[in-house]
């Protein structure tokens, strides 16, 4: 195939232009670069103008003192005192008052979700029929006894008025018998009416029993739905509350902290949140043969659920440690480790590894030797890491 001479000239001109641009870039004082220092540490050079564009801010670390702490691991467990269940009070059919709750929805204290229409079995209906017949007999007997006692009272009144042929005491006794028989007849009548209403389908349907939650919370399980027929005691719904939660942590084997009443809790799903835990009790069992503790933790707006992993920092006896507080904004994660960038001049930053062993409200405590008089990147640390990675990648491409 014959080559086009004009195409070859155009390619040569393009290569020359690229070479000129590369030369300008290398000579530019604002070029970002990365290298290794004399101790093998990572150094990133970022000119002042580029620092302003990237929003990089540097500040000295505030000195702090901290009591010795021990680090323990565990998980969130269900708090039995915050779990509630709604069961069917009687056998019957469930009816919904409005929207039936679903798993994950929230119900309020005292919320009524529906009602249950009582259901009678054949044995129960036969028993009620027998009791109704007995109640009717009791009512008839009480009515007849009341009629007799009323007639006796009238005779006593007449004889008492006619020359006191019947004493006042006898008259009072006759009045008392009338009152007694009246009360017996009233009780028999009420019993008969109650049994009739129970056996009457129309009246029985209106005697539905409301289904209401005594305590509100998040719905965890639904055991029955509207239209279903359930037995007495069947689970209707299970709900729970997750603020506060219980954190179960286990200390290293051989360590016991009898006086540690508080702990700083950090959930694995919320590494930037520090929660305060108050000791509740020793856990009933241990999984690692070490001492296991239960802490009640106020979760706030952190959605923490049973099963989530947590790390706890507990105070222990000993002299206080002197160090500095590293704010969370200074931390970056790279290659499975946590780092901070320490200023090494006006335009150079050295990447230093930091161990997250001691949590503090404002960040993390460290007593590493390199923190003395150190000025750390507290704003734009992620931009410095990105610049280092991009510069290193560009350098590797040029070597290839």
User: For residues 154 and 196, is the Cβ–Cβ distance under 8 A?
Assistant: no
pLDDT at 335: 87
Side-chain half-sphere exposure of 268, counting CA atoms within 13 A? 12
Strand 57-60, strand 375-379: pairing: antiparallel
Report, at the CATH architecture level, how domain 81-116+208-240 is classified: Beta Barrel (2.40)
Domain 69-79+242-315 has CATH 3.40.366.30: no
CB-facing half-sphere around the CA of 376: CA atoms within 13 A: 25
User: For residue 16, how many C-alpha atoms fall within 13 Å in the half-sphere facing its CB?
Assistant: 6
pLDDT (tens, 9 = 90+) of the chain, 400 residues, equals 444 454 344 334 433 443 443 444 443 445 778 787 777 778 888 898 888 888 999 999 888 887 777 888 899 998 888 899 999 988 888 988 878 999 989 899 888 888 888 877 667 677 778 888 888 888 899 889 889 888 888 888 888 787 777 787 887 888 888 888 888 888 888 888 877 776 776 655 556 788 888 888 999 999 999 989 888 889 999 999 888 899 999 888 877 776 678 888 889 888 778 888 998 888 877 777 788 889 999 887 778 889 999 999 887 777 788 889 999 899 999 888 999 999 988 889 999 999 887 777 778 888 888 888 899 999 999 999 988 888 877 655 444 4
C-alpha to C-alpha distance for 62 and 359, rounded to whole angstroms = 15
Which is nearest to 312 in space by CA: 272, 276, 366, 263? 263
147-173 burial, b if ≥16 CB within 10 A, otherwise e?
eebeebbeebeeebeeeeebeeeebee
Strand partners, 162: none
| Location of each CATH 2.40.420.20 domain in the chain | 30-68+321-399
CATH 2.40.30.170 domain locations along the chain: 69-79+242-315
The phi and psi torsions of 393 (rounded to 5 degrees) equal -65, -40
Q: Is the dihedral of CA 387, 393, 396, 400 positive or negative?
A: negative
For residues 315-345, b (16+ Cβ closer than 10 Å) or e, as one string? beeeeeeebbbbbebbbbeeeeeebbbbbbe
Residue among 265, 227, 273 nearest 114 (CA): 227
- End-to-end Cα, the chain, rounded Å: 32
Pick the CATH number of 122-205 from 1.20.120, 1.10.10, 1.10.287, 3.30.310: 1.10.287
Residue 69 makes CB contacts below 8 A (sequence gap 6+) with 313, 314, 315, 316, 357, 358
Tokens encoding 43: 């150094």
Looking at the chain, the domain(s) classified CATH 1.10.287 span 122-205
Distance CA 304, CA 269 (A): 8
Residues of the chain with CATH 2.40.50.100: 81-116+208-240
Any idea which residue has 């290659």 for tokens?
335
C-alpha to C-alpha distance for 192 and 140, rounded to whole angstroms: 11
In this structure, whether the domain defined by 30-68+321-399 belongs to CATH 2.40.420.20 is answered with yes
């Amino acid at each position: 195939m014959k080559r086009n001479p004009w195409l070859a000239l155009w390619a040569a001109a393009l290569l020359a232009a690229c070479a000129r641009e590369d030369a300008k870039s290398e000579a530019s004082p604002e070029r970002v670069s990365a290298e290794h220092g004399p101790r093998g540490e990572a150094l990133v050079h970022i000119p002042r103008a580029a620092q302003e564009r990237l929003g990089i801010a540097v500040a000295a670390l505030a000195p702090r003192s901290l009591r010795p702490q021990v680090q323990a691991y565990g998980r969130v467990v269900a708090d039995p005192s915050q779990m509630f269940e709604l069961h069917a009070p009687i056998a019957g059919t469930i009816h919904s008052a409005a929207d039936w709750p679903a798993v994950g929805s929230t119900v309020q204290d005292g919320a009524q979700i529906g009602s249950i229409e009582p259901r009678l079995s054949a044995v129960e209906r036969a028993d009620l029929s027998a009791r109704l017949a007995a109640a009717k007999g009791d009512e008839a007997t009480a009515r007849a006894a009341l009629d007799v006692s009323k007639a006796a009272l009238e005779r006593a009144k007449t004889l008492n008025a006619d020359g006191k042929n019947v004493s006042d005491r006898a008259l009072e006794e006759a009045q008392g018998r009338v009152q007694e028989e009246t009360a017996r007849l009233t009780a028999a009548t009420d019993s008969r009416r109650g049994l009739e209403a129970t056996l009457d389908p129309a009246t029985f349907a209106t005697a539905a029993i409301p289904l209401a939650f005594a305590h509100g919370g998040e719905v965890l399980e639904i055991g029955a739905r509207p239209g279903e027929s359930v037995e007495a005691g069947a689970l209707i719904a299970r709900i729970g509350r997750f603020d506060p939660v219980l954190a179960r942590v286990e200390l290293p084997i051989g360590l016991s902290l009898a006086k540690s009443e508080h702990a700083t809790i950090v959930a694995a799903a919320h590494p930037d949140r520090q929660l305060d835990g108050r000791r509740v009790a020793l856990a009933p069992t241990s999984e690692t043969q070490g001492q296991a503790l239960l802490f009640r933790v106020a979760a706030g707006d952190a959605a923490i659920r049973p099963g989530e992993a947590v790390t706890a920092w507990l105070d222990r006896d000993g002299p206080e440690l002197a160090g500095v507080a590293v704010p969370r904004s200074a931390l970056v994660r790279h290659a499975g480790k946590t780092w901070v960038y320490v200023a090494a001049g006006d335009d150079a930053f050295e990447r230093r590894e930091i161990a997250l062993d001691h949590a503090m409200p404002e960040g993390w405590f460290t007593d590493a030797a390199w923190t003395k008089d150190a000025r750390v990147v507290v704003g734009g640390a992620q931009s410095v890491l990105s610049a280092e990675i991009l510069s290193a990648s560009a350098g590797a491409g040029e070597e290839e």
